[in-house]
Amino acid sequence: MAVATGMARHVLVYRTVTESTAQGTAGRGSVLGAGRRSGHRMGKWMAPFGGISAANWLAPVAMRHFFDYGTTREQLAQIPIAVRRPRRTEPASGAAVTAHAGRLSGARMISSPLCLFDCDIPVDGSTALIVSNRDTAQDCQHDGVYVEAIGTALRGRPSWDQYHDMASMASKGAADQLWQRSALRPQRRRCRTALRRFSILALVVVGIAGVLRSG
């Protein structure tokens, strides 16, 4: 917004997470434990039932997606398989994909229907990018990435378990605003994403954004 309104020509955007260090050897409960969050917003309603992890909060979303669209565990498994596929120029062999699928089918269930490989990966790390006015691109050594539009709208009942459409969540308002601000249409776009979070969120986002048909 600062660049778009002319208040700045360059903005440094960064984020740092320390999830892995924060949980140490005590697991996710040490970060999202009922003792710490039981009095915080929705935590006071979920902690008494043991819902101390985002896996517990997203499992109903996945169940709703399965119910509405007939999504299966096998279909959902294709997302963590793709994320964990070795990065190489040639496509992964069928044998390699089958091996991953075998591991997933026997993976520990965390919060049904989400297994271990469907959950996000606690990491320590930082990311940073520089947002600049588009007229500075000609001075750069490499081609820039142009931002067509951004959607940030948060509509409805903003709580993990209180959205009117449990299979869309916060993505709905942001997606609607994104396409309202752009002359492009989602059906003509190619999509690429780097997923570190829950596999069900990938299905939710690309469906609600219109990149793929929901379900």
Residue 49 scores a pLDDT above 80: no
- Residue bearing the bigger pLDDT, 122 or 186: 122
* Confidence band of 210 (pLDDT split at 50, 70, 90): low
The pair of structure tokens assigned to 96 is 């390699």
Residue 112 scores a pLDDT above 60: yes
* Confidence band of 16 (pLDDT split at 50, 70, 90): very high
Contact indicator for 156, 26 with CB cutoff of 8 Å: no
Residues 6+ apart with CB under 8 A from 213: 207
> In percent, how much of the chain has pLDDT > 90?
11
Residue 91 scores a pLDDT above 80: no
Residues 6+ apart with CB under 8 A from 48: 34, 38
Contact indicator for 167, 69 with CB cutoff of 8 Å: yes
* Confidence band of 193 (pLDDT split at 50, 70, 90): low
Alpha helix stretches (DSSP H) within 33-121 = 34-37, 43-46, 54-69, 73-84, 94-105
Range of 16-20, 39-43, 87-91 with top mean pLDDT? 16-20
> By mean pLDDT, which of 57-71, 112-126, 153-167, 173-187 is the weakest?
153-167
Residue 41 scores a pLDDT above 60: yes
The pair of structure tokens assigned to 43 is 């935590």
The pair of structure tokens assigned to 143 is 């081609």
Residue 30: predicted pLDDT: 59
Range of 1-15, 173-187, 201-215 with top mean pLDDT? 1-15
Residue 26: predicted pLDDT: 64
Residues 6+ apart with CB under 8 A from 39: none
Residue 18 scores a pLDDT above 80: yes
Distance between CA 19 and CA 152 in Å, rounded? 25
Residue 34: predicted pLDDT: 45
Contact indicator for 13, 131 with CB cutoff of 8 Å: yes
Residue 126 scores a pLDDT above 90: yes
Q: At which residue do the structure tokens 């309603």 appear?
A: 45
**Closest by alpha carbon to 56, among 34, 83, 25?**
34
Instruction: Please report, for residues 3, 79, 145, the alpha-carbon distance to residue 141 in angstroms, rounded to integers and kept in the order given.
Output: 21, 35, 13
* Confidence band of 37 (pLDDT split at 50, 70, 90): very low
